[in-house]
Amino acid sequence: MALRARQRCHAVVTGLVALASAAVLSTAAHAQAADTWTEVGSDRANPLTESQGLTSVEVPANSPNRYTGIGTIPASVSSRGWNHVGDPDASYNGYYIEPYQADSGTAKMFRVQAPDGTWSEYVHTLGSGEALNNSFVAVTPRGQWMVSGEWGTMTRLLVHPTPGVNAGTSPSANLPWTSSIRLDHAVRDVQGCDFLDARTLLCSSDDPAGTLFGMTKPLLQIDLSAEPGSSDVTGHVTALRQLPLRSSCSGEFETEGIDYDRRTGTLRVIVLSPGFCVLTDSKTYRFTRG
């Protein structure tokens, strides 16, 4: 009887420890999701060269931030049908990647500049049910994998080996869609994502309806069950705040790319102004975490 009593007591204690651990983990996850990003400044965004995306570059040291827009697409690229560039990213070891799409076709293209300055192109043939849009790229902190995004209302993000960084990639071979991030909440019109850390994405949504999260143009946080790689992972989606919508003109704003600079802790998001004011008061907004 004494032995069975001790066994029952051990089981109860084990259960209580498990419940307490779960509560701590739940509280930590909630605290992370409750992070606030406070606007600390802004810079004018040039509608031709800074209207689609942006990224901070760590290698070489003291590199300037890089932007994309219709004016940054080389003629040699657009003449082959790649006439839209999305939100770029750069690996921590200096590979800079731009996502491209065409008006029609069955493929997407990723244009990569290596640390030595040379450019190469990696083409991805669309998978079953994959949208043609190539809105953004976000390179994982370890560098081996890259997240990309489609358009419209989606419950997934796509994962590829990072072109130029992952040894399994080659410009002469199809860049595969290896796995997916399965989202627990639909997202709409995601224009850019960047990694806050290995298991957290921050994303800018151009959602014009506001029906998914109770706000239009939200800043989203996606907490991942594991680092992206060759197998699917899940993502918990939280809307953190509405992005700034300020202009001398009234009408529809357009949220664009996003960048998190881990060196300064600065988050930057491009928001284009409506109508004529796209030329005059479009902004790259800067935020820091509270």
Q: Which two tokens stand for residue 94?
A: 């200096």
Would you say 43 and 67 are in contact if contact means Cβ atoms under 8 Å apart? no
Regions in the chain scoring below 70 on pLDDT: 1-34
Q: What is the pLDDT of residue 29?
A: 42
Task: Write down the domain spans for the chain.
Answer: 37-289
Q: What is the pLDDT of residue 35?
A: 78
For 124-149, write each residue's pLDDT tens digit.
999 999 999 999 999 999 999 999 99
Q: pTM, whole model, 2 decimals? A: 0.88
Secondary element (H or E) of residue 31: helix 2-33
How many C-beta atoms surround the C-beta of residue 226 within 10 A?
A: 12
Nearest to 207 by CA among 186, 180, 234, 182: 186
Nearest to 278 by CA among 245, 243, 242, 253: 253
Q: What is the pLDDT of residue 81?
A: 98
Phi, psi of 276 (to 5 degrees): -60, -30
Q: What is the pLDDT of residue 289?
A: 96
Q: What is the pLDDT of residue 122?
A: 98
The domain made up of 37-289 has a fold known as: Neuraminidase (2.120.10)
